[in-house]
Amino acid sequence: MNRWLLPEDIADVLPAQARKVETLRRAILDLYESYGYELVAPPILEFLDSLLTGTGSDLNLQTFKLVDQMSGRTLGLRADITPQVARIDAHLLNRAGVTRLCYAGSVAHARTPVGSSAREDLQLGAEIYGCATWEADFEAITLLLKTLSIAGLDKVYLDLSHAGILTGILADQKLDKEAIEALYGLLQSKDRPRLSKWAACLPTKTTEALMALTELNGPCAEVLANAKKALPKHVAIDQALADLERLVAAVSASSGLEISIDLADLRGYQYHSGVMFAAYVDKLPQPIARGGRYDHVGQAFGRSRPATGFSLDLLTLVNLSPLKARKLAIVAPWLEDAALSKAIAALRDSGEVVIQVMAGEKVDAAEYECDRELVKQGSSWEVKKK
């Protein structure tokens, strides 16, 4: 067996890309800091029951599991950082007011996610805890759009949905977990024939509302107007539509980007409790980022707290970013010369990259573009264009 081979859909990040990843990571976390977000770094391993608290079955299937030889309990290798951040907010920080937290760390998937070619991501995200109003959702979306802009991705499409719609439609129905998951899959695929057959045992008005969801997608104003006509009157549905209308107006006024609504897009329905959003960019068929409100996660940890936020894979963002990865550098000879050492130190202190090479050698580094060299002019060393 070749010792240098990696598991399927696991890959190394090589120099030029790794530098680009780190540069973007720093810039994005600095952006979050400017909004008052505090950086947290949860462990990559946790007891499985804690890691999966308040999450859906999808995350359970995606989590690597192993036995802790010290305690005998089952551990999980995290596939999502959000539940960990919710645990930190609920039990370690335990603050009464609004808390803003951000993170950047590796996650692993037991199975390659649909639409992806990797089982390891560098998940980056931001969460707001303790604010139940739409302004927190708006801040999360604003921060996401600025994150994509830092990476040079300005052509963004935002798709909105709301978990409260389905909650209102099914308010009087007693469905078990398996039935909800089946319904979720049918709505996601917009499979109207199978959905109609599945809902045959439900009241007519409920079935009609579920069928209507599959067609309530497209331009915001049109979808909201049609939803008010097609969906039953219920406080949860009315509130959801009002939330979406207010959020669409705020995002449109501040960004001018293309926004749509798809009320059947309920990915993570078991996880989310309110507004849900997904950001799309050119050259990527699946969303580059997802987010929304998930108040139930904190409740699952024994402390009910409103929560909203988003996450994305930084490696995917880097691959799509048009920003230049290579850094300009200066080549200098490797000599015992006090004046040369002093000149190199001064250049590095000023932020320049100086690479020393032996006589006759060339710099072979994908991360750097050596466009200048340090040459001796009389008794001093000067930087000259190559």
Q: Confirm or deny that 127 is annotated as ligand binding.
A: yes
pLDDT recorded at residue 80:
92
Q: How far apart are CA 78 and CA 106, in angstroms?
A: 8
| Strand duo 368-377 + 327-333: pairing | parallel
Q: Using 50, 70 and 90 to split pLDDT, how confident is the model at 287?
A: very high
Q: Which of 221, 240, 218 lies closest to 231, judged by CA?
A: 240
CB count within 10 Å of CB 375 equals 13
- Give the percent of the chain with pLDDT over 90: 67
Structure confidence by residue, pLDDT tens digits, 353-380: 999 999 888 888 888 889 999 999 988 9
Q: Confirm or deny that 267 is annotated as ligand binding.
A: yes
C-beta separation of 291 from 308 below 8 A: yes
Q: Confirm or deny that 119 is annotated as ligand binding.
A: no
DSSP 363-381: ---TTEEEEEEEEEETTEE
Structure confidence by residue, pLDDT tens digits, 12-66: 988 888 989 999 999 999 999 999 999 999 999 999 988 887 665 678 888 999 9
Structure confidence by residue, pLDDT tens digits, 116-161: 889 999 999 999 999 999 999 999 999 999 999 999 998 999 999 9
Tokens of 2: 């070749």
Q: How far apart are CA 350 and CA 363, in angstroms?
A: 21
Phi-psi region of 232 (alpha: psi -120 to 50; beta: other; left: phi over 0): beta
Across 208-217, average pLDDT: 94
Q: Confirm or deny that 81 is annotated as ligand binding.
A: yes
pLDDT recorded at residue 39:
98
pLDDT recorded at residue 295:
84
Structure confidence by residue, pLDDT tens digits, 316-350: 999 999 988 788 999 999 999 999 999 999 999 99
Q: Is residue 98's pLDDT more than 60?
A: yes
User: At which residue do the structure tokens 């987010």 appear?
Assistant: 291
Q: Is residue 269's pLDDT more than 60?
A: no
Q: How high is the mean pLDDT of the chain? A: 91
pLDDT recorded at residue 100:
98
pLDDT recorded at residue 123:
97
pLDDT recorded at residue 386:
85
Phi-psi region of 177 (alpha: psi -120 to 50; beta: other; left: phi over 0): alpha
Q: Is residue 245's pLDDT more than 90?
A: yes
